[in-house]
Amino acid sequence: MIRMLVLTTLILLGRTVQAAPVSGEFASIDGGTLSIDDWRGQPVLVVNTASHCGFTGQYAALQKVYEIYSDRGLVVLAVPSDSFNQELGSAEEVKEFCELNYDLTLPMTDITPVKGAEAHPFYKAVETQTGFVPRWNFNKILLDTEGAVVATYGANVKPDSPKLLRQVESLLR
């Protein structure tokens, strides 16, 4: 009886619980849609952004990470948001700002709420699964190749930080 209990406990402790994939379709800043599901098989770094934030300079690092890792499969998705009252008035203004100041070529959504009752369904799903809600602009959500959340980072973690890039590289192997 004790042996069976120990064996059952070891089996249970040895299992890993795989988070369910999250999905979401976003309006693209370029028109049309961007779907997390279209990127299955690739890791995705989702970052809520804003043009008038103390962290806006992180756009440069996001573009750099995108340029370095996109050939290996990483998708970097910028999600401009006015949830913290620091975004420009229209998607056109955001697109122009990002192109002129940061020469961004990574995929971007239209201006999208990321918290509260109006939060995009992707962010609601992430909150339901992980409890994570962006507390400011430039929070990051890293999805594995199946679309499951593997890590979340606050605004203070830069897109090119060794900690974040180690996670990205582990997903690209």
pLDDT, tens digit (0-9, with 9 covering 90-100), for 65-104: 999 999 999 999 999 999 999 999 999 999 999 999 999 9
The answer to whether 112 and 81 have CB atoms below 8 angstroms apart is: yes
- How far apart CA 80 and CA 168 sit, in angstroms, is 22
Domain 28-172: CATH superfamily, name plus number:
Glutaredoxin (3.40.30.10)
Residue-wise pLDDT tens digits, 31-58: 999 999 999 999 999 999 999 999 999 9
- Per DSSP, helices labelled H in 28-161 are 58-69, 91-102, 121-130
Residue 53 appears among annotated catalytic residues: yes
Asked if 137 contacts 53 with a C-beta cutoff of 8 angstroms, the reply is yes
- Indicate which residue of 22, 44, 45, 53 is catalytic: 53
Share of the chain above pLDDT 90, in %: 86
Grade residue 20 by pLDDT with cuts at 50, 70 and 90: confident
User: Could you tell me which of 148, 49, 145 has the C-alpha nearest to residue 104?
Assistant: 49
State the Cα–Cα distance between residues 56 and 16, nearest whole angstrom: 37
pTM for the model? 0.88
Alpha helices in 54-90 (DSSP H): 58-69
For the chain, the domains span 28-172
